[in-house]
Chains A and B, each alone.
Chain A
């Protein structure tokens, strides 16, 4: 009963305090919103890039181009099958697919068709463009690509090896840069938010100095004096988080096709992603509010 009364008292006082200095409180809340919107943006972009990464990883890991043009039957079916069997036996290989020169040509045409162009093969059948046969190797783990490539490079049937490692490294580099820059930006905004909250609560403490003095004289305990201010800071964080979640929910549907266009893979996993993001925003909002007001109460509410 006593505890409920304490909670009730603190919440009511925090609410009154928030609106007593409404301009300052709302400005602080706005900075919380700004920080959380930035955080949402970073979270969405990083998630998108990570989805792209796993998508690429799940695709072909190593491609080995083989000797044997369509018109030069250098590689017999037996040799080909032996190579595939050998490749399958290598550690880290999940699956091996043979792509014939004809199939490769079809793919090339398809790529051109998607771009709205026609593949020009030239008129001279002796010199027209020709494509090697290849095997495409899916890996159990992307990092095993190098050992598979090394093993295949020595085989006489193999003309050239291409791995996706370079592309993956590039993407990982981009993700790291985006993540670092984003986190630094958010940390800077976060510091500003913290400063705003500390300041808002400091002003609240000063504007209530008369009441605080009377509370002390009549024997109010420290928790009755301190918690309304801490809750006032938490309130800034909470309202900021709710507004930010609302904004994310509003832009949610329009953003999905854009995400698909940018990352070319289904990056967002729907409602669960939104729930996780909301929980993150709520936790960060509440934490920054609590930390800021706690610092302020510790610094400006000497007991």
Chain B
């Protein structure tokens, strides 16, 4: 898995100006510099967000509903554009990204949701294959990669099942396999355990850790305090669109 990052200095930003160390900048897969999003209706969804996520990190994104988590994620996949500041993802400055380059960016980012978003009429195999097919992959490539990914998420036995024949946890595993088809630099999980019971939630977290260990940066937006507290990973906390806490090995709530 290779991550192409451009040195920050070539973008016209010195490490000093960013307030980040040189090494951290060079390895960053996500960098936000004073990023802000104001929607056309005047609502300020994010403001002054400064954050750098290095390659290989596992980061929790926490905050109440409406705090800006969804906008944060939309910003990363360029569903919205920053109205101020800069956002650099997988080496690409999103403000400079042309529209036709967006699909390439999105292949560097895998994303899963609380509601899985599987296609009900397609089998498990077809759901994963679809993501390859629609990006122009050939049959041989599909036959090679899909079983590999289903193996990784432990669903190779269910390849021919429809999503409705699977449990919630299994469906989320299919979604994770699909998110990984392009070998992304970043996996974004938006409340991936929101619809799952505690035991299944833990299974999904274990899978995400496994994927992270293999080198993929994982950003997980969650309300699940128990998981965040038990994992003790880096936590980004949003409140009213502002990044109020960026703490390593942290808990869900501020502990001081």
Partner of A218, one of B100, B138, B182: B182
A217 neighbours in B (Cβ, 8 Å): 77, 106, 111, 117
- Interface stretch among B11-19, B128-136, B238-246? B128-136
Point out which of A5, A211, A219, A225 has the most chain B C-beta atoms below 10 A from its C-beta.
A219
A298 lies within 8 A of chain B by Cβ: no
CB distance from B80 to the nearest CB of A (A): 14
Which A-chain residue is minimally distant from B122 (CB atoms)?
A211
Query: Is B92 located at the chain interface by the 8 A CB criterion?
Result: no
Residue of A6, A218, A222 with most partner-chain B CB within 10 A:
A218
B173 within 8 A of A: no
Within the assembled complex, what's the spacing in Å between the Cα atoms of A225 and B178?
18
Q: Say yes or no: A216 contacts B119, CB within 8 Å.
A: no
Contact B100 A222 (CB under 8 A): yes
Contact mask for chain B residues 100-144; partner A; CB cutoff 8 A; 1 contact, 0 none: 100111110001000001010000000000110111101000000
The interface on chain B, measured as residues whose beta carbon lies within 8 A of the other chain's beta carbons, has a size of 22
- Once A1-B138, A9-B133, A213-B117 are accepted as A-B contacts, the answer to whether A221 and B100 lie under 8 Å apart by CB is yes
Interface residue? A215 (CB, 8 A): yes
Binary interface encoding of chain B residues 55-67 relative to chain A, with 1 for a CB under 8 A from any of its CBs, else 0: 0000000000000
CA distance A214 to B136 in the complex (A): 15
Interface residues on A, range: 20 to 34
Give every chain A residue within 8 A of B77 (Cβ-Cβ). 217
Q: Please name the residue on chain A nearest to B127 by beta carbon.
A: A214
- B138/A220 in contact, CB under 8 A: no
| Chain A residue, CB-CB nearest to B133 | A9
- Of the residues A5, A214, A219, A222, contact of B104 by C-beta under 8 Å: A219
Q: How far is the CB of B121 from chain A (nearest CB, A)?
A: 10
Distance (whole angstroms) from the CB of B203 to the closest CB of chain A = 23
Point out residues on A near B: beta carbons under 8 Å: 1-2, 5-6, 9, 210-211, 213-222, 224-225, 303
